[in-house]
Amino acid sequence: MRWPLIGSALVAAILVTGCKPVPDGGDPQDSKVIELPEPTQGDPALDPSPTQAATPMAERVATIALLNKRNNLSQDLNLKPGESRRLDNIEIRLEACERTASWEMPSETGAFVQVSVRDRRQANFRRIFSGWLFKNSPGLNVVEHPIYDVWVKDCAMRFPGEEAGSRAVRSAAVHPGGIPPEATAVAAPEATPPPAAPAPPPAPQE
């Protein structure tokens, strides 16, 4: 099932519920599982059109960027939904990622992440963010922390028809007008042999 992006009531609900403050001392392992409503009759999710048959959520890979503002070091984390990565005093967990198809405009990429940091005064981690991050609209949701900055860079997934569309674009770029070179080539006329030289006149008789 394809998850809608910006403007969807589902994502709006996730943004509202996912960004609620987390009490101090929250455990990053007590992550709430995001449950999608079952599709009903007439739901677009039941439509077997190519735009609905995208890469399954469990097979997608999100690229999450992490910046440590103290030492100005950044690195990319490749995570699948349900995976988490702990680096020093921060833990990032990916719940879901989504992007628009290549032919949809405006394009957007999003990821639902949960960020937890270790408190200096305590040994456990404390949740500081839980919600959607958008690549092309970073101002919609921001991870606010004095040391760490987190943002989404990509969501690796495919839609049916994208490969054919890419081939058509490449073909149009190489062959303007959509006509292959072999179709526009004009066959050269066959060369005709030159006319034979005239025979010499007979010698005069004495």
Q: What is the pLDDT of residues 80-113, one digit of tens each?
A: 999 999 998 999 999 999 999 999 999 999 999 9
Whether the link from the prior residue into 4 is cis, omega within 30° of 0, is no
Higher pLDDT among residues 45 and 159, named by residue: 159
Residue 130 pLDDT > 80, yes or no? yes
Model confidence pTM above 0.75: no
**Is 10 a domain residue?**
yes
When pLDDT is cut at 50, 70 and 90, the band that residue 162 belongs to is confident
pLDDT at residue number 195: 65
Residue 117 pLDDT > 80, yes or no? yes
Number of domains in the chain: 1
The beta strand positions in 71-183, using DSSP E, are 73-79, 84-87, 90-99, 109-118, 125-134, 148-156
Higher pLDDT among residues 190 and 121, named by residue: 121
**Is 38 a domain residue?**
no
Average pLDDT score over residue span 128-135: 96
When pLDDT is cut at 50, 70 and 90, the band that residue 198 belongs to is low
b/e sequence 46-80, b meaning 16+ C-beta within 10 Å: eeeeeeeebbebeebbbbbbbebeeeeeeeebebe
Cβ distance 112 to 93 under 8 Å? no
> If DSSP codes are grouped into helix, strand and coil, which group holds residue 176?
helix
Distance of CA 205 to the CA centre of its chain: 98
**Is 150 a domain residue?**
yes
**Is 158 a domain residue?**
yes
Q: What is the DSSP letter of 50?
A: G
Residue 140 pLDDT > 70, yes or no? yes
pLDDT at residue number 139: 87
pLDDT at residue number 20: 47
**Is 49 a domain residue?**
no
Terminal-residue alpha carbon distance, the chain: 109
19-75 pLDDT, tens digit each:
444 545 555 555 455 554 554 554 444 444 444 578 999 999 999 999 999 999 999
Average pLDDT score over residue span 5-31: 46
**Is 106 a domain residue?**
yes
Higher pLDDT among residues 22 and 191, named by residue: 191
* Residue 163: how many other CB atoms lie within 10 Å: 11
167-183 pLDDT, tens digit each:
554 554 445 554 444 44
pLDDT at residue number 167: 53
**Is 44 a domain residue?**
no
**Is 18 a domain residue?**
yes
Cβ distance 63 to 83 under 8 Å? no
Domain span at residue 113? 1-22+54-171
